A and B are shown apart, each in its own frame.
Chain A
Amino acid sequence: EPEVTQTPSHQVTQMGQEVILRCVPISNHLYFYWYRQILGQKVEFLVSFYNNEISEKSEIFDDQFSVERPDGSNFTLKIRSTKLEDSAMYFCASSDGSARVRSYEQYFGPGTRLTVT
């Protein structure tokens, strides 16, 4: 069964450093998402991406965050200058988005645990 993959599984970085989290969505999917989950809290939406542009973003997704689809397979989340409060599990998700049945279901990757020290 196709699945969303994410790398690395764990990233440790120092405050102020830039990090790039990588995702490979399911190959025929058209909609891509980033969510995060701070330890012990609920999953929070960050951004959605369609047709090579951001379609929606939350208040969390400020100027320090950016997303990119550099080629036909990868979808990346960049945090320019990490803060301690960016420590969280970051999940990538993708949706089919076609007219087929159940195309709206969001499939989640296993996550990248980001630790900012």
Chain B
Amino acid sequence: GESVGLHLPTLSVQEGDNSIINCAYSNSASDYFIWYKQESGKGPQFIIDIRSNMDKRQGQRVTVLLNKTVKHLSLQIAATQPGDSAVYFCAENASRRGSTLGRLYFGRGTQLTVWP
């Protein structure tokens, strides 16, 4: 069945360093991937997404890389700040009839801790 998982459950970085959070997925039919950030006591917050026809997408301080050959997704955060400390989830969606409005499959999450 479909599954999305993470290589590392925790990641600690120094403020100002770059962070890389990894994710593996198993459903080759998935064509839409999202990274969410979840702070303590809050719901998942959208960070960035990418469709399967792309291999890289950049946002503000974040970059998502997609390697469909090995079914791997990564989130890069540049100049990590203490406010970036949170749990990061990757999620995937397999569109039906061209729509990506269906269920999301989430990975287990990586706890990012940023030290001053």
Residues of A within 8 A of B (CB): 4, 31, 33, 35, 41-45, 48, 50, 55-56, 58, 91, 93, 95, 97, 104-111
B108 contacts A104, CB within 8 Å? no
B100 contacts A110, CB within 8 Å? no
Contact of B102 among A42, A44, A56, A91 (CB under 8 A): A56
B108 contacts A42, CB within 8 Å? yes
Could you list some 30 contacts between A and B, CB below 8 A? A4-B43, A31-B101, A35-B106, A42-B4, A42-B89, A42-B108, A43-B44, A43-B91, A43-B104, A43-B106, A45-B103, A45-B104, A48-B103, A50-B101, A56-B103, A91-B43, A91-B44, A93-B43, A95-B101, A104-B99, A104-B100, A106-B46, A106-B104, A108-B44, A108-B45, A109-B43, A110-B41, A110-B43, A111-B42, A111-B43
Interface Cβ pair total, 8 Å cutoff: 54
The residue in chain B whose Cβ has the minimal distance to the Cβ of A95 is B101
Please report the C-alpha to C-alpha distance between residue A35 and residue B103 in the assembled complex, in whole angstroms: 9
A97 contacts B108, CB within 8 Å? no
* Total interface residues in chain B, CB < 8 Å: 24
Other A-B pairs beyond A104-B100, A108-B43, 4, CB < 8 Å: A43-B44, A97-B101, A106-B104, A110-B43
Residues of B80-96 contacting chain A, CB below 8 A: 89, 91
Main secondary structure of the interface of A (DSSP, over half): strand
Residues of B within 8 A of A (CB): 4, 32, 34, 36, 41-46, 49, 89, 91, 99-109
Residues of A contacting B45 with CB < 8 Å?
Answer: 108
The listed residue with most A CB atoms (<10 A of its CB), out of B4, B44, B105, is B44
A107 contacts B101, CB within 8 Å? no
The residue in chain A whose Cβ has the minimal distance to the Cβ of B108 is A42
Residues of B contacting A110 with CB < 8 Å?
Answer: 41-43
Please report the C-alpha to C-alpha distance between residue A97 and residue B102 in the assembled complex, in whole angstroms: 10
The listed residue with most A CB atoms (<10 A of its CB), out of B45, B103, B106, B107, is B103
Please report the C-alpha to C-alpha distance between residue A35 and residue B99 in the assembled complex, in whole angstroms: 19
Contact of B107 among A42, A91, A95, A109 (CB under 8 A): A42
The listed residue with most A CB atoms (<10 A of its CB), out of B101, B104, B109, is B101
Please report the C-alpha to C-alpha distance between residue A31 and residue B102 in the assembled complex, in whole angstroms: 9
